[in-house]
């Protein structure tokens, strides 16, 4: 229920802001707006104020602003018709919707940094390597400083680069033992999301975050928040040490010295072999330290704008890789995925939900600016051509342009729904 409600609230606000951009720009240039609708299908609510009918429809997957005289094939009846206005004014009206989404994204990001939110501590710290596979070119304790010559400051920046470069050989400059060395690292490919992956995790503290149900750890009496101090008498300082000691036990019983609510306890547990991970485990997951980040209002504005620039860069980097075939279409998501993430963000708190809305608003704004027929970007392209030519486009060209647009949009919708459904099955 929370997922559905969060989805409706988020999408409703984003669509309203988008359509309000078109509405306000149309009003500014004197175009008559006949209908302002949030959603499609049967009307749940409708009310007329002045010359405009305001509608809330049953299907919250879009919206529209119906303006007088917006059919280019009909003769102009009034100076307030949409096509009675010069092309540059029509361009601004079409541009206003996506522009409002981008402005909203900046506002929401600023609000998030002003309200404050929890983030994994490791994501904002230096990219220090914790656990790595035996055959990895990286070593435990390495600090990743540059990727392909680009300076990185945090693990989050490293994750972004990896995600955008699936099946790619990366050159990493790491600090190891007080020296800088270059190593090569081949990224993997996530079949479900299409993003890049690496079998490397950040350095984490030896604190238990979750106990797998029915696991040896649960049977032995280990609990969430237990701090692992020693294993078989060996002092433990990081989670990767815990993993190594359990893995190297070869299934023999191990003795854990733990700290629980200020008391030291000794617990014996027998690891079991996990066929999926191909190693011995006891069924524990590390606790991820959270850091609350909050900034004074002026600094929050700077951070919000910085986040907007960062996410914009990611959008266009991914778009370029998608066009060139260096990114997978499997990473695209549709309404089902958006609804799932909306629900999780809402459960995580107001700040997480606002960040989610800012992210989706940014995606919606840029997506609508793509020069594809039936999108705002497609209209802008047609109006630009008309402006440059000095005369209207032929009905045949417009019809063919729209047909191409509907076909492309249809393929895209089928693709994202397919991806969403496959994610549900997995």
Measure the CA–CA gap between 250 and 371, rounded to whole angstroms.
59
The answer to whether residue 316 sits within a structural domain is no
- Write out pLDDT tens, residues 200-245: 878 788 899 999 999 999 999 999 999 999 999 988 888 878 888 8
pLDDT of 370 above 60: yes
The enclosing domain of 147 has a CATH number of 2.30.42.10
The answer to whether residue 95 sits within a structural domain is yes
The answer to whether residue 337 sits within a structural domain is no
Measure the CA–CA gap between 143 and 173, rounded to whole angstroms.
9
- For position 60, what pLDDT does the model report? 75
DSSP assignment, residue 197? Answer: E
- Write out pLDDT tens, residues 112-138: 999 998 888 888 888 888 777 777 888
Phi, psi torsion values for 52, nearest 5 degrees: -115, 135
Residues 77 and 10 in one domain: yes
The answer to whether residue 339 sits within a structural domain is no
The answer to whether residue 241 sits within a structural domain is yes
Q: How confident is the model at residue 7 (pLDDT cuts 50, 70, 90)?
A: confident
- For position 146, what pLDDT does the model report? 93
Give residue for tokens 């047609």.
382
Residues 63 and 47 in one domain: yes
Residues 107 and 134 in one domain: no
Rounded to a whole number of angstroms, the distance between the first and last alpha carbons of the chain is 22
Query: Is the sign of the CA dihedral 347, 98, 80, 39 positive or negative?
Result: negative
- For position 34, what pLDDT does the model report? 92
pLDDT of 175 above 60: yes
The answer to whether residue 137 sits within a structural domain is yes
pLDDT of 105 above 90: yes
* End residue of a domain, out of 173, 197, 221: 197
> DSSP for 266-326?
EEEE--EEETTTTEEE-SEEE---EEEE---HHHHHHHHHHHHHHHHHHHHHHHHHHHHTS
Cross-strand bridge partners of residue 153:
none
Residues 107 and 141 in one domain: no
Residues 278 and 370 in one domain: no
Residues 184 and 217 in one domain: no
- Mean pLDDT for 291-298 is 89
Residues 100 and 20 in one domain: yes
**What residues act catalytically?**
19
* End residue of a domain, out of 197, 221, 244: 197
Q: Which domain holds residue 147?
A: 123-197
Residues 72 and 131 in one domain: no
- 360 neighbors 14 (Cβ within 8 angstroms): yes
Measure the CA–CA gap between 418 and 412, rounded to whole angstroms.
10
Residues 133 and 90 in one domain: no
278 Cβ contact list (under 8 Å, min separation 6): none
Q: What would the two tokens of residue 144 be? A: 């990743």
Domain count across the chain: 3
The answer to whether residue 333 sits within a structural domain is no
Residues 215 and 232 in one domain: yes
Residues 167 and 253 in one domain: no
Residues 28 and 102 in one domain: yes
* End residue of a domain, out of 145, 165, 197: 197
> Which of 121, 92, 107, 99 lies closest to 29, judged by CA?
92
The answer to whether residue 342 sits within a structural domain is no
HSE-CB at 191 with a 13 A cutoff on CA atoms is 2
- Share the mean pLDDT of the chain: 85
């Amino acid at each position: 229920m929370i997922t559905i409600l969060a989805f409706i609230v988020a999408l409703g606000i984003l669509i309203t802001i988008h359509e309000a951009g078109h509405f306000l720009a149309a009003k500014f240039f004197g175009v008559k707006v006949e209908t302002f609708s949030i959603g499609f299908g049967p009307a749940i609510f409708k009310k007329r104020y002045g010359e405009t009918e305001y509608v809330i429809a049953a299907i919250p997957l879009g919206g529209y602003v119906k303006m007088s005289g917006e059919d280019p094939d009909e003769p102009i009846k009034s100076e307030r018709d949409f096509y009675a206005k010069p092309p540059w004014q029509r361009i601004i009206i079409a541009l206003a919707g996506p522009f409002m989404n981008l402005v909203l994204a900046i506002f929401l990001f600023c609000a998030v940094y002003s309200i404050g939110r929890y983030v994994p501590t490791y994501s904002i710290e230096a990219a220090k390597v914790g656990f790595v596979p035996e055959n990895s070119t990286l070593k435990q304790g390495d600090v990743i400083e540059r990727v392909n010559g680009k300076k990185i400051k945090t693990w989050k920046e490293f994750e972004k680069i990896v995600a955008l470069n699936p099946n790619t050989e990366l050159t990493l400059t790491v600090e190891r033992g007080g020296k800088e060395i270059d190593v090569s690292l081949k990224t993997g490919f996530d079949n479900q999301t299409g993003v890049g992956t690496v079998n490397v995790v950040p350095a984490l503290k030896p604190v238990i975050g979750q106990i797998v149900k029915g696991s040896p750890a649960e049977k032995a009496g280990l609990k969430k928040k237990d701090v692992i101090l020693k294993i078989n008498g060996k002092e433990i300082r990081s989670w990767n040490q815990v993993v190594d000691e359990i893995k190297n036990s070869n299934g023999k019983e191990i003795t854990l010295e733990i700290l629980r609510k200020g008391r030291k306890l000794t617990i014996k547990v027998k690891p079991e072999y996990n066929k999926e991970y191909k190693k011995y485990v006891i069924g524990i997951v590390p606790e991820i330290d959270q850091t609350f980040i909050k900034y004074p209002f002026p600094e929050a504005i700077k951070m919000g704008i910085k986040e907007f620039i960062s996410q914009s860069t990611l959008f266009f980097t991914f778009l370029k890789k998608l066009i060139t075939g260096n990114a997978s279409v499997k990473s695209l998501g549709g309404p089902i995925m958006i609804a799932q993430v909306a629900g999780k963000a809402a459960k995580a708190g107001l700040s997480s939900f606002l960040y989610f809305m800012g992210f989706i608003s940014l995606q919606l704004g840029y997506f609508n600016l793509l020069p594809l027929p039936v999108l705002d970007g497609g209209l802008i392209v047609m109006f630009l051509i008309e402006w440059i030519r000095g005369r209207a486009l032929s009905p045949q060209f417009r019809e063919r342009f729209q047909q191409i647009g509907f076909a492309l949009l249809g393929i895209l919708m089928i693709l994202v729904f397919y991806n969403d459904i496959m994610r549900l099955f997995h």
